């Protein structure tokens, strides 16, 4: 159903008739007596799948070449007998101690040259051929042993690639980087040109002189660093693909995936390159409670993951029932929070609800991380909520495979993110995600759903295209954005976009280089704002983050700066472009000012809310040939009302014409 396009014909479909519900299961952490209890409680909670074996290497191959599959055979059989599907991991996320003792060259090295020792997890260098050899041998054993096991539903390659071991700066990586650079640039002349090595006497005359961007006296060459980010993502993708191929040889029809981390804090892999190599896009998400708008970030993450899946449904492989253990302070979720967060993911296209993990550990680094079965045991409010969620997941089966409606695209590009995240930029107080997240959040508050897609995506289907801080952009992508405006879209470009090309060379002649003509704006100098600093705007609002000395060469000035060194200069402009409009924000207006600008954009472009709602009440519509489902999520502490009619699958009641929701509850209304 949601397997990626070209593989549809041959791939086995899973899940089949319900939202898959379950999570990571680590039975090796528990004596066998507990397994029977696990199976009983899984049935009670309505668990339909588990991910097995993510960190099991030392239990599967306790010493070199000696394999012990008996325990995995037993638990696979038991799960199969209980009707629970298995997403079987390749167990290659973390090497066993014997492997790193025998071959310490496998260990990753940080920027300062320190070895990252074993004793935690993911202690392997992404470029290590030795590590790959051992990992592929284990993958081969697992795939040949379990490929036709009746419980097997999915293969789970490694785990959260790059989470802890990228970038690695070791000598093995140095050699691999040179090979990668030769492929990308062809000649040293081309590399010198791309990296701008005329600067600071950096010209290379031999490939062997090129090193990873290790710690230096001061700023490293930014294109060197950018290429190292690309190299790291490509290296791990190649690793993933080699594991994929080994599995595929034994297991032709079972879907293969690896869990991404599309949450906005994780930025090391270019998932737009990775997604086409997944049979199903899967990802992990954890609510970061220190964010100002954590629920809006969750929604953004869902829309980005759906974008990576090409609009198809995706798997939420992991999230948490309650507290995590890795933020500075880790409060539990409020009652109802487990269900609300889960349904927020389903609203944005998840057809799987996976958690880390089934049973909360007694020992180890994650013993204070919540789970489906908490330390308190089955007699707990959280486990009762988990059981309720399992029953809801079952009732939501009819939603499976449906798509999310969106008329607005927000662009997201890991290369632009990498390039603008380095030091020695005009401002270290701006972050790639801020403008995109803010606009996405304000649209979400208005009941408008966005697809978050790469700049090279087909933009022709969107009425509004938001281009936030697209610092680095290729000529082709800039042309496609301009074409979207010419064809009738409202294109909203923000500050610090279009500045540099794919090698991070500045586009000359005035900023915002690649978008100067589209926007009819020319900027000579930047005036970035300090953290907490604001600039008054002529509409009564306040700008933050950025300001700049812009001239509207061929655009209408909508808002100007009202104080400071730029008083009277344009802050927001608009330009009619054939059938569409190009808007430019030279600063980030506050929510009220930006919101009213977005209201104008929505009105003029004809984009409507899913239903009218108030901030804190999230609404999304999923649709298929057989019907439509309105998701309403009340994140507030007050009761709310929304216009909706049909059958609510959460409460199993008919509703309409007004849906009433208590605080922190959700409805999924089959409309009509």
Residues that bind ligand GLA (CB under 6 A): 159-160, 284, 286, 318, 324, 356, 366, 369
Q: DSSP for 613-634, please give it.
A: --TTEEEEEEEETTEEEEEEEE
Residue 173 binds: one of ligand GLA, Zn ion, none (C-beta under 5 to 8 A by kind): Zn ion
Q: How far is CA 293 from CA 265, 434, 449, in A?
A: 14, 11, 17
Residue 356 binds: one of Zn ion, ligand GLA, none (C-beta under 5 to 8 A by kind): ligand GLA
- Cβ distance 621 to 629 under 8 Å? yes
CA distance 315 to 346: 9
> Which residues, in sequence order, are bridge partners of residue 89?
156
Q: Closest approach of Cβ 333 to ligand GLA, in Å?
A: 13
Q: Closest approach of Cβ 318 to ligand GLA, in Å?
A: 5
Q: Which is nearer to ligand GLA, 141 or 369 (CB)?
A: 369
CA distance 70 to 577: 67
Q: Which is nearer to ligand GLA, 49 or 180 (CB)?
A: 49
The number of C-alpha atoms within 13 Å of 61 and in the hemisphere containing its C-beta is 22
CA distance 656 to 479: 46
Q: Which is nearer to ligand GLA, 169 or 274 (CB)?
A: 274
Cis peptide leading into 512, omega within 30 of 0?
Answer: yes
Q: Packing angle between helix 337-347 and helix 381-395, nearest 10 degrees?
A: 30
**Residue 548 designated active-site:** no
Q: Closest approach of Cβ 176 to Zn ion, in Å?
A: 8
CA distance 466 to 437: 11
Q: Which is nearer to ligand GLA, 162 or 457 (CB)?
A: 162
Q: How far is CA 482 from CA 292, 470, 476, 577, in A?
A: 33, 14, 10, 9
Q: Which is nearer to Zn ion, 114 or 384 (CB)?
A: 114
> Which residues, in sequence order, are bridge partners of residue 49?
22, 85
Q: Which is nearer to ligand GLA, 200 or 326 (CB)?
A: 326
Q: DSSP for 143-155, please give it.
A: HHHHTT-TTEEEE
Q: Closest approach of Cβ 338 to ligand GLA, in Å?
A: 14
Q: Going along 99-221, which residue ranges are E strands?
A: 152-156
Q: How many CB atoms lie within 10 A of CB 204?
A: 15
CA distance 18 to 357: 20
Longest dimension (CA), the chain: 75
Q: Which is nearer to ligand GLA, 266 or 526 (CB)?
A: 266
Q: Closest approach of Cβ 326 to ligand GLA, in Å?
A: 6
Among 160, 243, 415, 548, the active-site one is: 160
Q: Packing angle between helix 171-185 and helix 188-195, nearest 10 degrees?
A: 100
The residue whose two tokens read 């220190």 is: 290
Q: Closest approach of Cβ 77 to Zn ion, in Å?
A: 39
Among 61, 243, 297, 318, the active-site one is: 318
Residue 159 binds: one of ligand GLA, Zn ion, none (C-beta under 5 to 8 A by kind): ligand GLA
Helix, strand, coil: what percent of the chain each, to 5? Answer: 35, 20, 45
Residue 452 binds: one of Zn ion, ligand GLA, none (C-beta under 5 to 8 A by kind): none
Q: Which is nearer to ligand GLA, 13 or 361 (CB)?
A: 361
The residue whose two tokens read 């649209």 is: 443
Residues near Zn ion, by CB under 5 A: 125, 127, 168, 170, 172-173
CA distance 163 to 282: 15
Q: Closest approach of Cβ 368 to ligand GLA, in Å?
A: 11
Phi then psi dihedrals of residue 303, to 5 deg? -70, -35
**Residue 160 designated active-site:** yes
Q: Closest approach of Cβ 330 to ligand GLA, in Å?
A: 10
Q: Closest approach of Cβ 99 to Zn ion, in Å?
A: 15
Residue 170 binds: one of ligand GLA, Zn ion, none (C-beta under 5 to 8 A by kind): Zn ion
Task: Spell out the residues 6+ positions from residue 325 whose beta carbon is closer than 8 angstroms to its own.
Answer: 365, 366, 367, 368, 369
The candidate with the shortest Cα–Cα distance to 599, out of 484, 409, 439, is 439
Q: Which is nearer to ligand GLA, 54 or 237 (CB)?
A: 54
The separation between CA 535 and the C-alpha centre of its own chain, rounded to angstroms, equals 32
Which residues have a catalytic role annotated?
A: 160, 318
């Amino acid at each position: 159903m949601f397997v990626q396009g070209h593989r549809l014909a041959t791939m086995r479909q899973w899940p089949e008739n319900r939202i898959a519900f379950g999570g990571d299961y680590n039975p090796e952490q528990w004596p066998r007596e507990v397994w029977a209890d696990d199976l009983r409680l899984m049935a009670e909670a309505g668990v339909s799948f588990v991910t097995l074996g993510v960190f099991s290497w030392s239990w599967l191959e306790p010493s070199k070449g000696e394999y012990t599959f008996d325990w995995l055979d037993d638990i696979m059989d038991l799960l199969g007998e209980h009707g629970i599907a298995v997403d079987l991991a390749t167990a290659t996320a973390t090497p066993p101690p014997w492997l790193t003792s025998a071959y310490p060259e496998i260990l990753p090295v940080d920027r300062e040259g320190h070895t990252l020792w074993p004793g935690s997890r993911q202690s392997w260098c992404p470029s290590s051929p030795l590590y790959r050899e051992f990992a592929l041998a284990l993958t081969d054993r697992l795939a040949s042993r379990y490929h036709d096991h009746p419980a097997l539903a999915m293969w789970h390659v490694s785990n959260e690639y790059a989470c802890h071991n990228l970038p690695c700066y070791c000598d093995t990586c140095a050699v691999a980087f040179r090979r990668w650079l030769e492929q990308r640039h062809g000649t040293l002349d081309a590399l010198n040109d791309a990296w701008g090595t005329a600067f600071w006497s950096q010209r290379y005359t031999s490939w062997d002189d090129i090193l990873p961007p290790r710690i230096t006296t001061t700023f490293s060459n930014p294109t060197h660093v950018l290429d190292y980010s690309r190299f790291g993502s490509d290296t791990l993708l190649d690793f993933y693909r080699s594991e994929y191929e080994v599995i595929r040889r034994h297991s032709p029809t079972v879907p293969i995936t690896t869990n991404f981390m599309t949450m906005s804090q994780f930025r090391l892999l270019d998932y737009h390159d990775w997604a086409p190599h997944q049979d199903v896009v899967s990802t992990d998400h954890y609510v970061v409670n220190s964010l100002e708008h954590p629920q809006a970030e969750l929604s953004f993450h869902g829309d980005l993951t759906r974008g990576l899946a090409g609009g198809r449904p995706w798997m939420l492989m992991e999230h948490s029932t309650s507290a995590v253990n890795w933020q500075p302070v880790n409060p539990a979720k409020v009652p109802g929070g487990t269900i609300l967060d889960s349904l927020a993911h389903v609203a944005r296209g998840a057809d799987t609800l996976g958690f880390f993990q089934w049973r909360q550990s007694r020992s180890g680094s994650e013993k204070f991380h919540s789970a489906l079965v908490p330390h308190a045991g089955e007699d707990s409010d959280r486990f009762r909520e988990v059981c309720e969620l399992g029953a809801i997941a079952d009732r939501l089966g009819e939603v499976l495979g449906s798509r999310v409606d969106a008329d607005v695209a927000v662009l997201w590009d890991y290369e632009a993110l990498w390039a603008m995240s380095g030091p020695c930029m005009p401002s270290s107080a701006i972050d790639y995600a801020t403008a995109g997240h803010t606009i996405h959040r304000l649209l979400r508050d208005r009941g408008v759903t966005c697809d978050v897609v790469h700049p090279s995506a087909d933009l022709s289907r969107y009425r509004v295209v938001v281009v936030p801080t697209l610092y680095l952009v290729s000529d082709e992508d800039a042309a496609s954005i301009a074409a979207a405006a010419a064809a009738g879209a409202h294109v909203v470009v923000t500050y610090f976009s279009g500045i540099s090309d794919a090698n991070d060379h500045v586009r000359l002649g005035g900023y915002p280089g690649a978008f100067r003509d589209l926007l009819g704006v020319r900027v000579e100098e930047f005036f970035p704002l300090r953290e907490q600093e604001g600039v008054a705007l002529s509409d009564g609002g306040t700008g933050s983050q950025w300001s700049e000395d812009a001239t509207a060469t061929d655009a209408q000035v909508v808002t100007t700066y009202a104080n400071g060194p730029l008083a009277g200069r344009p802050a927001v402009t608009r330009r009619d472009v054939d059938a569409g409009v190009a808007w430019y924000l030279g600063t980030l207006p506050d929510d009220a000012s930006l919101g009213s600008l977005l209201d104008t954009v929505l009105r003029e472009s004809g984009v409507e809310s899913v239903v009218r709602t108030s901030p804190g009440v999230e609404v999304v519509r999923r649709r298929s040939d057989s019907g439509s489902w309105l998701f309403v999520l009340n994140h507030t502490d007050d009761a709310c009302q929304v216009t909706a009619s049909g059958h609510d699958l959460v409460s199993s009641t008919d509703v309409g014409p007004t849906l009433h929701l208590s605080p922190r509850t959700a409805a999924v209304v089959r409309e009509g």
